A and B are shown apart, each in its own frame.
Chain A
C-alpha cells in the first residue's frame, strides 16, 4: 500500500508540476508585445466604428444592418450590435447602416467607414458617412483567437 501510494502520489504530483509549468508559459504568451499590440488595434478599430455609428443614428431611430457581406454584418454586430435598435421588418428602418471598406485614409477606421442611408418621406435617399473617430492604417484588424 505504501509503495503504491508513493508511486501514485509521485506520478500525479510530478505530472501536475510539469503541466503547471506549461500552463504558466501559455498564460505568459498572452502578454507578448505582438499579442498586446494586436489586441489594442482590434479594440481601437471597433471603438472607431462604434463612434461612427453613433454619429449616424439619432435617439429612437431604428436600424437595419445592410449589405450582402456576412463578414461586414458580423463586424457591425461586434462594433455596435449591443445598442442599436434593430428594425423589424428591416424595410421600415430609419437608417440602414453598411460598411465601406476602402484604402487607408483620414476619417476611416483602418480604411473602413460606417455609412448611413436614410430614406425621406418623399422616397429620396440620403447617404452620410460616419464621423468622430479614425484609426490610421489598413484593415482588417488582426484576428483574435477563435
Chain B
C-alpha cells in the first residue's frame, strides 16, 4: 500500500468516526466535510486517553467510542426527527447565487489547501515529529502496562511525552488500520488534518460573506470578498506555518483549530450550528498540545461569555444554562489527559514554573524573541481601529460578533504562551530560539483572520443595503433557538 493510499484510508477512518456526530451537531453543511476528520481525531484522542485510564487496546476504544457516538446520533434522530441532518438552519433558503457561492467557495478553499500541501513532496520528518509526535503512536499500540512504562520511566528523558495525545493517537489509528508503521504516514496524516483545520477556518470567511448577502442589494459583493479572502488566507496560513504544516509537528493543528474556533465561536453569528463547529475545533486545539490546551480553555470561557452575554448575567436562566453546560463538558474533556498524566506520575507532568527566576530578564527575552514574528500586528491593529470606528455599525448589522472578541482571544493565547515562557525554569534563550516561530503561529494567524473578516465587512459596505433587509439582533440575542430571530442567510452553508 502506498503512503497516499494509506493516508486516504486513515483519513477516511477518522472521518467515519467523526461524521455522524458532526452531522448531528453541525448539520449537512460544507464545513461538516472538513470537520468530520477532525472530530474523528478527537475520538482517537479520547480513545487513547480511555485506553490509558481504563486499559484495553486503543483501537477497541476508538471503534467503541465511534459506535457509541453513531448510536447516540441515530437515537436522537429517531426521537427528534426535526433535528436530522437536513434540518432547516436559521435563515437558510438563499437563492441559486447563494448556493453557488457555497459550492465554489468550498471547492476553492479545499483546492487551495491541497495545493498548499505541496511541501509533502519533500520527505521531511521534523525533529520533534520524529522524536515525539509520530514516535509516540507506537506506545499507544503497545499493551497498557508498557504504555505506562513508556510514559513514566525516567531513563527515557523525553518530558514532552506528557503532551496531549491527538496527533499521536490519530497516527496510531492510521498505523493500525493500514499496517504501515512509518513516520512518513504519520506526517502525511497530520498534514491532512492540518489542511482540514485550515479549510474549516477559511470556510468561516466564505460563510461570513454568504451570511451577509441576504441583507444587501448587491449580494455577490460580500460573497466574492469572502471567497477571495478565504483563498488568500489559506495561502497566507500555509506560509506562516511552514515547514511545520507538512513535517509532522503539532503546532499548526492546534493553532489553526483555535483560529477556526474563534471564527465560528466569536466572530460568526451565534447559531447552534456554528457553536457545534466551535466545540469540535476547541477540542482539537486543546487535545493537541499544551499551548493549545491553555488557549482552548481560554476560548471555552470567551465563547461561553459571548453566548451568555449581558442578558445572562442579568439572570435570564435560559441564557446561561446551555452555554455553561457546554463549557463544563468541554473542560471535562480537555482536562482528562493532563489529569491522567499527573495521576500516573508521567514524565513532564509536574510543573516547573517558578516566580523565583529573573522575571524581568525572561519577560524581556520573551518580548524581544516574539516581536519579529508579530509584525502583522502593525497592520492588523490600525486596520481594526479604523474598522471599529467607522464600520462597527455595519458589522453589527451584518450579524457578526464584535471584533474585540477576536482580539481578546489573540491576547489570551499570546499571553498564555508568553506567561509559560516567563514563569518556567528552562533556559529562556535556547527555548525562545528553537520554538518562537512555532508558538506564535496562533496570534499571527488570528491577526490575519481579523484582517480577512474586516475585508469582508468592508466589502459589504460597498454593496449597499437592501431596502427590505430584516433587522439583525445583537450577537448574544442570536443564540435563541427561535429561527425567526436569526439573521438572513445560511450561516454555515447548505451543500448545493
Please give, as numbers and ranges, the residues of chain A lying within 8 Å of B451 by CB-CB distance. 12, 15-16
Interface stretch of the complex, out of B349-357, B385-393, B467-475: B385-393
A145 to B241, CA, bound (A): 12
Contact A146 B435 (CB under 8 A): yes
CB distance from B173 to the nearest CB of A (A): 15
Contact A30 B462 (CB under 8 A): no
Number of interface residues of B (CB under 8 A): 69
Chain A 2-14 interface mask (CB, 8 Å, partner B; 1/0): 1011111101110
CB distance from B411 to the nearest CB of A (A): 21
A64 to B124, CA, bound (A): 28
Chain A 77-108 interface mask (CB, 8 Å, partner B; 1/0): 11001110111101000000000000000000
Please give, as numbers and ranges, the residues of chain B lying within 8 Å of A11 by CB-CB distance. 379, 383
Please give, as numbers and ranges, the residues of chain B lying within 8 Å of A46 by CB-CB distance. 125, 130, 183
Contact A83 B138 (CB under 8 A): yes
Residue B158 lies at the interface, judged by CB distance under 8 Å to chain A: yes
Which of A20, A39, A73, A86 interacts with B146 by CB under 8 Å?
Answer: A86
Chain B 235-269 interface mask (CB, 8 Å, partner A; 1/0): 11111101110110000000000000000000000
Which of A12, A28, A64 interacts with B383 by CB under 8 Å?
Answer: A12
A30 to B126, CA, bound (A): 12
A15 to B377, CA, bound (A): 12
A146 to B432, CA, bound (A): 11
Contact B454 A8 (CB under 8 A): yes
Please give, as numbers and ranges, the residues of chain B lying within 8 Å of A26 by CB-CB distance. 238-239, 242
Best-surrounded residue of B146, B156, B379, B462 (most CB of chain A within 10 A): B156
Which residues of chain A (65-83) have a CB below 8 Å from chain B?
Answer: 65, 70, 73-74, 77-78, 81-83
Which residues of chain B (126-179) have a CB below 8 Å from chain A?
Answer: 126-128, 130-131, 134-139, 142, 146, 149-150, 152-153, 155-158
Interface stretch of the complex, out of B115-123, B277-285, B314-322, B482-490: B115-123
Which of A9, A36, A90 interacts with B123 by CB under 8 Å?
Answer: A36
Which residues of chain A (33-61) have a CB below 8 Å from chain B?
Answer: 35-36, 39-40, 42-43, 46
Contact B127 A31 (CB under 8 A): no
Residue A23 lies at the interface, judged by CB distance under 8 Å to chain B: yes
Which of A17, A43, A77, A90 interacts with B158 by CB under 8 Å?
Answer: A77
CB distance from B22 to the nearest CB of A (A): 29
Contact B130 A13 (CB under 8 A): no
A25 to B240, CA, bound (A): 11
Please give, as numbers and ranges, the residues of chain A lying within 8 Å of B201 by CB-CB distance. none
Contact A22 B239 (CB under 8 A): yes
Residue A24 lies at the interface, judged by CB distance under 8 Å to chain B: yes
Which of A8, A19, A64, A77 interacts with B239 by CB under 8 Å?
Answer: A19
A6 to B127, CA, bound (A): 45
The chain B residue with its CB closest to the CB of A11 is B383
Residue B452 lies at the interface, judged by CB distance under 8 Å to chain A: yes
Best-surrounded residue of A12, A31, A77 (most CB of chain B within 10 A): A12
Q: With A8-B454, A23-B237, A146-B128 as given contacts, are A86 and B123 in contact (CB-CB < 8 Å)? A: no
The chain A residue with its CB closest to the CB of B155 is A90
Contact A23 B122 (CB under 8 A): no
A13 to B459, CA, bound (A): 10
Contact B386 A20 (CB under 8 A): no
Residue B180 lies at the interface, judged by CB distance under 8 Å to chain A: no
Which of B123, B183, B228, B461 interacts with A5 by CB under 8 Å?
Answer: B461
Contact A9 B225 (CB under 8 A): yes
Q: With A23-B239, A27-B239 as given contacts, are A6 and B458 in contact (CB-CB < 8 Å)? A: yes
Contact B247 A82 (CB under 8 A): no
Please give, as numbers and ranges, the residues of chain A lying within 8 Å of B240 by CB-CB distance. 23
Contact B126 A144 (CB under 8 A): yes
Please give, as numbers and ranges, the residues of chain B lying within 8 Å of A9 by CB-CB distance. 225, 455, 458-459, 461-462
A-B contact pairs, 8 of them (CB 8 A): A5-B460, A8-B383, A9-B461, A20-B235, A26-B238, A27-B118, A39-B123, A86-B146
Residues of B within 8 A of A (CB): 116, 118-119, 121-128, 130-131, 134-139, 142, 146, 149-150, 152-153, 155-158, 181, 183-184, 225, 228-229, 232-233, 235-240, 242-244, 246-247, 376, 379, 383, 386-387, 390-391, 394, 434-435, 448, 451-452, 454-455, 457-462
Residues of A within 8 A of B (CB): 1-2, 4-9, 11-13, 15-17, 19-20, 22-31, 35-36, 39-40, 42-43, 46, 64-65, 70, 73-74, 77-78, 81-83, 85-88, 90, 143-146
